[in-house]
Structure 1
């Protein structure tokens, strides 16, 4: 298919915007144009088309099709050259070259195949010849206009029309919107530029997806900028704090210099006054001594003058006796040595104190007060505390002095932290710290209260209750001060070696007991920790709990004074029924008439089973009772207790099942030696069984408004053995 002759070539080579008169003139001259005009065109134009095609092929990577383009230079490209002026832009040359490539490829292939490849409809293929003829006519008209009207107004009009075509084409190209995004150049481009332009080998993406990607990238960058802004604000705040600290330190240093210099000047002035006073005193003493000697010399001088005059008179008188007296007087010696020297002694000025003051000017000042940190979580044990502090200034510190009480202790440390040991568990301590250097000690910091971790609790083994799916654990604190909460840690025992691995933790328990839900037929090690602000205590001693059946303990506070509990904790005995000298302790909650005892409350819903081993010749009562059952009555004689009673008559063993004093008429032929008791809260049943032969004896159907206690009583001296933690036998199931 000849693309140049198709209608698509008008998109690349727009029709010249000439007037109607021009088209008629072109049509007239086209009919009379000489046939040799095409041969003369290259010489008239002077346009090196081969060179331009080579440059464009090299620029856009079209070297592989260069031979095909050169073959077309002498053919149909002459029509393109005749239409476009020599001063055509590179883009127009590229478009011409591209269309000529398409034209060349279409001349080799079958026209129908070319039509399919181009995606053109069949109607366009059918009208190919008509479009080609019309294009040839227009090209010839353009050639005639350039050749025949090379000078004058017609040539100028053609040139203006060509320039107008270029401007219109450029405007249309600029108005064409970009529809893809070049990932290499990071700019939006047209799809045409990807196929044939400079972005041919670049990676592109759809414009909407590129926009979304850029939005995400911009959002990430904004988040990073926000983080950087926050960091810069923190740095600026830190710098501001440092600026204020430098200002404060400078003022303090300046004040320190002023004080030291004033002290030094004061000491120097005092030294000067002292030395000046001593020098004046020495001067006064010297002058007084010299003055006295001068007076004495004056007196001797006067005496000598008088003696000279008198000697001269006696010599003239020639009185020998008087002359000899004068001679004796002349033998007296006169002290002519100076009493003092005019020089002053060399005085050494002691300026050691001044030097010390001057040297202290360069010394660092005493540090500021440190800031002690609040207690960090889990920074304490039962006997130790880790205390931390800081010095928010640039002062030089040699060591710190840490003090704490209630009993005051003082420690010197080098670091800004210290671990204090040998403390009391769950006890509050007050700490404060000071900084020291060569210049002195700082003011103390504000006082901070630290607390040590609690002591490990003590689990009450004898008060642990359990059933097949739960356990009630009780413990007591070893600390005088209250703790914040408790944590129970469970370790399930298996056949593997990792039995000490904690499988569950229950935290935030406010009291010293907790009801734990467990899995049936399992073994658990249970430990308890105490918690406070200082941290967690060590683990308590672990206890072993079985969830094979119901376990409870006997409440000694409810036992009659004549009833004894043996060492195993589950065997009760009575040696005699009356003891007037009984001095056993009697509690307010004890039975006073019936020799009985209550077991611990069974606070677990569901079915609970235990057994009582009895002796054949012992009279007893076993069953359950409410907490408020009367302590001065007998079990089963009121509406708050249910029990099975065994009494011995002369004729037989009699068994009664009592509640509110009433009993059904039941005869038991085989006396039970092991009585099974099944308490079923959900079905409101209390059943008794002969466990030795799996025989059902009797069942109370009663709605238990509250949880009940197991109860046991002896009416004759004997022993009852209680067995707990027994799996409920399958034969206890009743219809």
Structure 2
């Protein structure tokens, strides 16, 4: 194919991909001189209009003049007219030329790129003739030579000087780009059409004016919508399962009651069958009709309920599979249909009302004519004692119990009488129940209850069943956030039981949080905890939500209110039970109130030293915290054992290690005290932020000026027990304590 044809192909393909038609443009003479190329649309070949796009003067040698071109056009017109008079078809010749110069291939490629719309191509390309149409009678070899000459003449264009420059490269580039874009999968989502599309279609295609969004955002939005529908579906499934269970029990109750009634009629009427045959048949037929109507109504409702429940579960399974789909395009294609199906299904109202009641009408037989015979008939006997079933694992909550029982006889029963009371109390409660189960509410948590039941009919009441003990689930515990201590790899969690009665064990549930999100996904559970505290090993630099459940024979309690624990450093609280009466604990530290010292009645508080202990640090390893002080405040800070004397000063005994600051007339004096001994250490720059590093493994307690990373002093002492942080004020002032700080790298000592 000639380079001219290739140039045309590349030009038209680019126009089709951008969605614009190629309009002929007349280049200025300055542009001709600068560029050396003139581009024009190939649809003008062989037409009179093509002469209008040529400039009057063409630069360069070897170009034809406009007069020569017009003379050739006139000659071509005469030849065309002569050919038509001789019986030649001009359209046939054009088709042959198109095939000769490869224009048919261009037409096929354009048809492929336009998505199979031939009507858009036919307006731009002449139709090709078949080989048989070329052999029309009257066509001479001279005409063929003239046609070839005209085609060769038309093949020459003002583009000859630059026809091989880059036209074929442009064509190949656009064609490859079109193919790659055609094969590219959807990367945006059209909200108008509800389908994934390519970004190219939004810019130049049929979705140009539609509203679009990013495919991941659309996917997340659809997932949220599906998740909401799944939650509604799960609620409906739970509701339908409960209703189906209720229907089954009602169905069985109705069937048993009417069955026993039939047998009772049959036994009594057999003694007087000849006299009461007609009445017996009438009563049995009426009773059977009533039974059939009620059973059919209940059975139909039960079948409908089962079908609805099966549909719910099928939708849940399908939705779960769709929710796990990783391919975005496939997910979005299926998600639209699934969301519509879910919404349509959830719009249907579900009938949760019983179609009939289990009561049966007591039928009275007119036996006035056979009164003597009827007096000899035995009446319905009183039922036997029911049997209460053992407590089911999921039958209890903190305030309710579901009690079930059975009747292992063929007695006719109209209702049941359920009695219960607490094991430790004689106050009795009584309920009348139609079914063989009952849910009792407004009970005390973690409490044992005795239950017994009797059956009743028109004759009388049965003996009571044996008493069975049920127990309610415990109340949720309460986590004591002030007693929680943690470090970079562990936490000590303490809580209080919500019940007076003891429970069997506790379960701690951990939820790891990412970026402080409020998630309820349990990542770890610790079960079988016998006491109200537990030491948990955690991962460093993480945040956790921690909840506690209490367990007994009745089941598990609800979760306690969650607490947030960070493992970025050591956390501890101040123990108010050890505080001197003049100390007031604030959110950011503690201060002194100018009050008189009251009498000391508690041996755990400090008497002489105005101090306080922090909670115990029971974790091996390194622990770091900081204390912010004011320049004119006198204080003591450090660590101490639990049994450090409360009537003395911190640092004056062998159970405490302290840094002391006092102000003398000449200077700020700093002392490091243990058993009253202090080295002679001078600190030129008074620290305003003091870092304390407790290293259990290396038996060190170090003090630092945290503002300038300056090491002040280190105690080398073997700690026989875990220690408490300790703080004391010798003059009114404020100490601010900062915990949860990771150990700074500059605290490393040789």
**TM-score of the superposed pair, with normalisation by structure 2:** 0.49
Deviation at 1:355, TM superposition (A): 5.7
Match of 2:591 in 1: 573
Match of 2:527 in 1: 507
Match of 1:472 in 2: 492
Match for residue 417 of structure 1 among 437, 455, 459: 437
Match of 2:739 in 1: 724
Deviation at 1:452, TM superposition (A): 0.8
Q: Tell me the alpha carbon deviations over residues 368-389 of structure 1, each in whole angstroms, 9 at most, x when there is no partner.
A: 1111122222320011001111
- Identify unmatched segments of 5+ residues in structure 1: 1-248, 262-349
Q: Tell me the alpha carbon deviations over residues 620-644 of structure 1, each in whole angstroms, 9 at most, x when there is no partner.
A: 0000000000000110100000010
Deviation at 1:495, TM superposition (A): 4.4
Q: Tell me the alpha carbon deviations over residues 163-188 of structure 1, each in whole angstroms, 9 at most, x when there is no partner.
A: xxxxxxxxxxxxxxxxxxxxxxxxxx
Across the aligned residues of Structure 1 and Structure 2, the Cα RMSD in angstroms comes to 2.4
Determine if contact 2:471/2:553 at 8 Å carries over to the other structure.
yes
1:657 aligns with 2:677: no
SS in 2 for 1:473: strand
Match for residue 592 of structure 1 among 607, 613, 619: 607
Mapping of residues 378-389 of structure 1, within 5 Å: 378-389=394-405
- Matches of 1:497 and 1:368 in 2, distance apart? 60
Match of 2:706 in 1: 691
- Matches of 1:446 and 1:706 in 2, distance apart? 57
Match of 1:523 in 2: 543
Match of 1:370 in 2: 386
1:400 aligns with 2:416: yes
Q: Which moved more, 1:428-437 or 1:521-530?
A: 428-437
- Matches of 2:691 and 2:639 in 1, distance apart? 13
Deviation at 1:447, TM superposition (A): 0.5
Deviation at 1:586, TM superposition (A): 4.7
- Matches of 1:530 and 1:433 in 2, distance apart? 30
- Matches of 1:572 and 1:372 in 2, distance apart? 61
- Matches of 2:644 and 2:536 in 1, distance apart? 28
Q: Tell me the alpha carbon deviations over residues 91-147 of structure 1, each in whole angstroms, 9 at most, x when there is no partner.
A: xxxxxxxxxxxxxxxxxxxxxxxxxxxxxxxxxxxxxxxxxxxxxxxxxxxxxxxxx
- Identify unmatched segments of 5+ residues in structure 2: 1-259, 273-367
Q: Tell me the alpha carbon deviations over residues 5-27 of structure 1, each in whole angstroms, 9 at most, x when there is no partner.
A: xxxxxxxxxxxxxxxxxxxxxxx
Determine if contact 2:516/2:543 at 8 Å carries over to the other structure.
no
Match of 1:636 in 2: 651
Match of 2:697 in 1: 682
Match of 1:549 in 2: 569
Match of 1:604 in 2: 619
Distance 1:541 1:356, change over 3 A: farther
Match of 1:433 in 2: 453
Match of 1:456 in 2: 476
Match of 1:559 in 2: 579
Match for residue 646 of structure 1 among 645, 658, 661: 661
Determine if contact 1:626/1:706 at 8 Å carries over to the other structure.
yes
SS in 1 for 2:624: strand
Deviation at 1:415, TM superposition (A): 2.1
Determine if contact 2:600/2:607 at 8 Å carries over to the other structure.
no
Match of 1:711 in 2: 726
- Matches of 1:379 and 1:704 in 2, distance apart? 52
Match for residue 407 of structure 2 among 365, 369, 391: 391
Whichever of the two has the greater Rg, that structure is 1
Q: Tell me the alpha carbon deviations over residues 215-256 of structure 1, each in whole angstroms, 9 at most, x when there is no partner.
A: xxxxxxxxxxxxxxxxxxxxxxxxxxxxxxxxxx9xxx9xx9
- Matches of 1:728 and 1:496 in 2, distance apart? 22
Determine if contact 1:560/1:586 at 8 Å carries over to the other structure.
no
- Matches of 2:458 and 2:524 in 1, distance apart? 56
Deviation at 1:400, TM superposition (A): 1.4
Mapping of residues 152-167 of structure 1, within 5 Å: none
Q: Which moved more, 1:659-668 or 1:620-629?
A: 659-668
- Matches of 2:504 and 2:599 in 1, distance apart? 39
- Matches of 1:351 and 1:402 in 2, distance apart? 41
Deviation at 1:497, TM superposition (A): 6.7
Determine if contact 1:378/1:536 at 8 Å carries over to the other structure.
no
**TM-score of the superposed pair, with normalisation by structure 1:** 0.50
Q: Tell me the alpha carbon deviations over residues 406-428 of structure 1, each in whole angstroms, 9 at most, x when there is no partner.
A: 33211122222111111111111
Match of 2:681 in 1: 666
Match for residue 358 of structure 1 among 364, 372, 376: 376
- Matches of 1:497 and 1:726 in 2, distance apart? 21
Mapping of residues 181-196 of structure 1, within 5 Å: none
Determine if contact 2:484/2:492 at 8 Å carries over to the other structure.
yes
